[in-house]
Amino acid sequence: MNYPDFINATRDQSRELFKTIPDTMKGIGALSKAAKESPAIGGKEKEFVALGIAVAVRCEPCIAFHVEALMKAGATREELGDVLAMCIQMGGGPAVMYAGKALDCWDQLTTA
């Protein structure tokens, strides 16, 4: 999979959803903003939590967006690896498959 293209296509789909159901999409945006603005833990840590959940529920678009956000938040590939190890520890075999997707996404976005 080409993750940079996948991210762009997913963003385009979200824009179409916004045009179709603006109130719902605004609500999701407000929820996301509120969760991210809470000061108890930092943004990078929140993105690691979100990535862990994305791997657990097998949401490839979520994986791509949270990997991208982690890169912007200053995460390292080594930190990503530690989080993916925890995902695998908690999720077993299926988590291995989606952890691999998260690592592939990181590597593609690094070279993009």
How confident is the model at residue 78, as a pLDDT?
A: 98
> All domains of the chain, ordered by start, with CATH?
3-111 (1.20.1290.10)
Are 8 and 109 spatial neighbours (Cβ–Cβ below 8 Å)? no
pLDDT in tens, 7-32: 999 999 999 999 999 999 999 999 99
Evaluate if pTM is beyond 0.85: yes
**What is the pLDDT confidence band of residue 112, given thresholds at 50, 70 and 90?**
confident
How confident is the model at residue 34, as a pLDDT?
A: 95
pLDDT in tens, 36-81: 998 999 999 999 999 999 999 999 999 999 999 999 999 999 999 9
pLDDT in tens, 76-108: 999 999 999 999 999 999 999 999 999 999 999
Alpha carbon distance 106, 97 (integer Å): 15
Alpha carbon distance 93, 7 (integer Å): 25
